[in-house]
Homo-oligomer: A and B are copies of this chain.
């Protein structure tokens, strides 16, 4: 018999300012302790109906097929490629960060012919680049872009890309993992055919669900597939039969009920705050953080004019130890931030201000904690510069 010692579960309280998860509201935590229901319970179906309604509000779409996939954001990405690509289809994919690379990885696994739109990690994919590639290829099945690149802090413009995709008859797929509920996003108005996100970022629900939406144009392509979707678990046609009342509520998998409760409550909180107010809150706190970091003499990594308010990348000053600063933030202040991913490993820190974590208090606390640590680590800066700049910024309007 293997050794059976284990510890009592006592996670420390953290201020989650990394690339996700963000902190969750007490009402969301409480929702998970509501009585567990079976996945075919009549009341449970009403919870599912509410979740779909609230997700349509959040995605700004009228797409009937709008529901969370029962797995994390990465499974939302995979569901997109597994359903809408077949072996030999051409997919044009923007790659200016870690998650663009992951999209390529997914598309290749499902047998697609992938054309990469490359840009420096930290810059957007320019519309001219998209146009040139789309026009040089015949029969592009799908154009995929990451709206908010969590690895670089860049906000990708989408409306021109959407028009270009339509002009060549390609589906337009958008990764909104770090934007949905925090940055402006309008699925229908912007002509996005397929969009997915994660529950644990700007929505401030625990990780474990991938909000997903697809329009009729996208769904029509499922009917002309020559082979089954390889993944049973992510097969949207089967999922739709369970989610949609007109699909007969046919059993597909045992829904993660407590996660649905949490998402229901997190979405209700968003509806109460209002989408516009929520996006403004993210903008305000993002801008204050940016001002504070620059006032400390630090350099923001992402292209000016295309910076996320939900996730900020800042270059690590030379002679400052990446890991040591992050460990001290965690151990001395209980603050989690993220290190660089992939090509930016050791180059940047990633600071998230998402959902319930996007507060004035967190901006000021983080800046003062960082100032203290940087000074102790030998980095020279003007005392209080970061907090002062952020405070001035917060007081505007």
Contact = CB atoms under 8 A, between A and B. Distances in A.
A92 interface: no
Contacts of A62: 2
A230 to B, nearest CB: 5
Nearest to A21: B36
A206 B336 contact: no
A328 interface: no
Nearest to A254: B207
| Number of chain A interface residues as a range | 35 or more
A240 interface: no
Interface in A4-22: 4-7, 9-14, 16, 18, 20-21
Give how many copies assemble into the complex.
2
Which of A39, A40, A207: most chain B Cβ within 10 A?
A207
Interface string A247-262: 0000111111111011
A74 B253 contact: yes
Interface in A253-288: 253-259, 261-262, 264-265, 268, 271
Nearest to A17: B38
Contacts of A159: none
Which of A11, A14, A198: most chain B Cβ within 10 A?
A11
B207 A32 contact: no
A46 interface: yes
Interface of A: 1-7, 9-14, 16, 18, 20-21, 23-24, 29-44, 46-47, 50, 53-54, 56-57, 60, 62, 70-75, 77-78, 82, 102, 105-106, 108-110, 198, 200, 206-208, 228-233, 251-259, 261-262, 264-265, 268, 271, 330, 336, 338, 341
